[in-house]
Amino acid sequence: MNSPEENPQNIRQNIQADGSGVAFVQGAGAQNNNLTQNFYGAAGLPATPENLYRQGKIKLNAGDEEGELFILAAAEAGHVEAVKEMRKMASVRWAYLSEERDRWNLKLIELGVPDGYADLAACHKLRMGHADTADERMGLLEEAVSCYKRAIEGGLEGATEDLGMLLHKEGRHEEAIPYLERAIAHLKVEGDFVWDDVEAALRSAQKALRSQQRKAGREQLRESGARRWWRRNS
């Protein structure tokens, strides 16, 4: 049986990153156990985040759960692929909508990776289905739209499809159309197959917008006629 300082969970809680972005482990008795020694290279110098990530992947692929500690250390030190790996683990372990997943998305955003915004937007979109009130749902919708826009601004052109589809579904057709058009153009430039549902969504949004515009025009005419009638009879 492992002593308290050899317990992987205790070591997990002590993983930090110093000012230079190098991961290290500290804690009472930690340097005397085999697990912690794996975090250090020759002469006790900290291993690089890349080496920690690679060692972690090797261990996990071999079925060694201790590999997660290596990946966690690399993630805390700012290794992008390690952060994505921790996010994936969070979605499996604590469910897709967990705060743990949000934490790693925020870490990606901190590192300047637009995928963090896109995945955070997807989480907000799913949370809309669990909202208790209309106001809560609207707040989540606006958060999702904002995050998708930031992902696009960060260079993640693929997020145009997700944003366009979301806006169309929410009846915001005029806003959706430019993003759906942009998504189709992006897919064609990349040589990817343009899914029928994206093109169908664009046609549907265009048709719905025309219908909305005709309805607004009729209402404007009615209001204009009512004002003229009121002036004639006042």
Please answer whether residues 29 and 3 qualify as being in contact, where contact means their C-beta atoms are separated by less than 8 angstroms: yes
Q: Which of 10-19, 100-109, 224-233 has the lowest mean pLDDT?
A: 10-19
pTM score over 0.95: no
Rounded to an integer, what distance in angstroms lies between the CA atom of residue 44 and that of residue 26? Answer: 12
Q: Which of 64-78, 90-104, 162-176 has the lowest mean pLDDT?
A: 90-104
Question: In this predicted structure, what is the pLDDT of residue 6?
Answer: 41
The whole-chain average pLDDT of the chain stands at: 81
Residues 6+ apart with CB under 8 A from 139: none
Q: pLDDT digit string (tens) for 123-160? A: 999 999 999 999 999 999 999 999 999 999 999 999 99
Question: In this predicted structure, what is the pLDDT of residue 191?
Answer: 72
Rounded to an integer, what distance in angstroms lies between the CA atom of residue 11 and that of residue 27? Answer: 8
Question: In this predicted structure, what is the pLDDT of residue 219?
Answer: 83
Going by pLDDT thresholds of 50, 70 and 90, the confidence category of residue 31 is very low
Q: pLDDT digit string (tens) for 162-214? A: 999 999 999 999 999 999 999 999 988 877 666 678 999 999 999 999 998 89
Higher-confidence residue of 92 and 179: namely: 179
Rounded to an integer, what distance in angstroms lies between the CA atom of residue 197 and that of residue 201? Answer: 6
Q: Give alpha helix (H) positions in 96-195.
A: 99-110, 115-128, 134-153, 159-169, 173-190
pLDDT (average), residues 34-58:
67
Going by pLDDT thresholds of 50, 70 and 90, the confidence category of residue 233 is low
Question: In this predicted structure, what is the pLDDT of residue 73?
Answer: 93
Going by pLDDT thresholds of 50, 70 and 90, the confidence category of residue 13 is very low
